[in-house]
Amino acid sequence: MPRMIAILGTGKMGEALLSGLVRAGRAADQIMVTTRRPDRAKALTETYGVRVVTNLEAAEQADALILAVKPQDMGTLLREIAPVVPSDKLVISVAAGITTDFVQARLGGPIPVVRVMSNTPVLVDEAMSVISAGAHAKEEHLKLTEDLLQPVGKVLRIPESQQDGATALSGSGPAYFFYLVEAMVDAGILLGMPRAAALDMVKQSIVGAAIMLRDSGEHPVILREAVTSPGGTTIAAIAELERHRVRAAFLDAIEAARDRSRELGGTNK
Ligand SMILES: NC(=O)C1=CN([C@@H]2O[C@H](COP(=O)(O)OP(=O)(O)OC[C@H]3O[C@@H](n4cnc5c(N)ncnc54)[C@H](OP(=O)(O)O)[C@@H]3O)[C@@H](O)[C@H]2O)C=CC1
Ligand SMILES: O=C(O)[C@@H]1CCC=N1
């Protein structure tokens, strides 16, 4: 395990990863973070007891760097730290669309870079993190990255060519489920239910369904068929979902997210 880890750009994702590291037992004095705003720095120190440093201090002193700025800010950050990052430092990027080649080219030298796409359920130790090695990252670097991420969820190694697709599927994935919950609660309101009761019903249904899906080992089609009685209520709803081409909308939506991830990587300078 790297002795000192630095998170550069500690916003929503950076903080989610930070909280996971702390929950997994990493001592606060083995984590450094960087931020842009002083009020954010103060809040992170107060909540986690971690040291807030400059990007240059983090890049010099930490054994592994987790880059968690927005894709649009990655070029600027890499230009700033490039002069002080030695070629044996493990650099982990969690930014959508940013390729390992992009990071390596801006840091210069044979730097081991690992690209990660995680998601916000890292906050409840249920993240889906997919990881890919850059040209100079070896088995030991993938293993170190897995060791960092395994305490906060599931980790899968994938070819980097699939990273933009994974960003669309599991990186953004939680948002699609929250969106679905919102839509179903609205349906409850339409049927005249109080908002709080509708939210309770939908929340418990999605949690129950998610746990069944994870723990039963059954295919989702089998689980859905078990709810769908001949001539019953569920098939009446599914007929409407099909009529509105909801499945096709998901295919198009996730393809659009994949394309946007590619664009974020391509347009960044
Ligand atoms: N949110 C999500 O669900 C997921 C996000 N990601 C990826 O994680 C990354 C971060 O996203 P997210 O956490 O949502 O975004 P945020 O805007 O919440 O976090 C980015 C943080 O980086 C800070 N920052 C920007 N530039 C610098 C700099 N030069 N030095 C120090 N700090 C800097 C920002 O400061 P300031 O607030 O002042 O702008 C901000 O706090 C993105 O690349 C995204 O693609 C990946 C998976 C899921
Ligand atoms: O929306 C985004 O760009 C980020 C990347 C994956 C999830 N959120």
Count CB atoms within 10 A of the CB of residue 212.
14
* Res 267: pLDDT: 62
| Ligand 2 pocket, mutate which of 129, 163, 167, 176 (most atoms under 8 A from CB) | 167
What ligand 2 atom has the least distance to the C-alpha of 95? 5
| Ligand 2 pocket, mutate which of 163, 172, 264 (most atoms under 8 A from CB) | 172
C-beta 66 within 6 A of ligand 2: no
CA of 101 to the centre of ligand 2 (A): 20
* Res 2: pLDDT: 78
> pTM for this one?
0.95
* Res 87: pLDDT: 85
Residue 267 vs residue 41, higher pLDDT: 41
Instruction: Retrieve residue 160's tokens.
Output: 């980097």
- Decide if pLDDT at 261 tops 90: yes
* Res 88: pLDDT: 86
* Res 268: pLDDT: 57
How large is the average pLDDT for residues 168-174? Answer: 98
pLDDT tens readout for residues 90-148? 999 999 999 999 999 999 989 999 999 999 999 999 999 999 999 999 999 999 999 99
* Res 46: pLDDT: 96
Q: Are 263 and 256 in contact (CB under 8 A)?
A: no
- Residue 35 annotated as lining a ligand binding site: yes
Q: Are β-strands 5-8 and 127-133 bridged in parallel, bridged antiparallel, or unpaired?
A: unpaired
Q: How far is CA 246 from the centre of its chain?
A: 25
Coil, strand, or helix at residue 114? strand
Instruction: Retrieve residue 139's tokens.
Output: 């088995």
pLDDT tens readout for residues 6-28? 999 999 999 999 999 999 999 99
C-beta 172 within 6 A of ligand 2: yes
C-beta 171 within 6 A of ligand 2: yes
ipTM for the assembly:
0.97
Q: Are 206 and 177 in contact (CB under 8 A)?
A: yes
CA of 120 to the centre of ligand 2 (A): 10
Mean pLDDT of all residues belonging to the chain: 96
Instruction: Kindly list the structural domains of the chain, giving each domain's residue range(s) and its CATH number in brackets, ordered by start.
Output: 5-159 (3.40.50.720), 173-264 (1.10.3730.10)
pLDDT tens readout for residues 32-80? 999 999 999 999 999 999 999 999 999 999 999 999 999 999 999 999 9
Whose Cα sits closest to atom 1 in ligand 2?
172
Hey, what amino acid is at 196?
A
* Res 1: pLDDT: 76
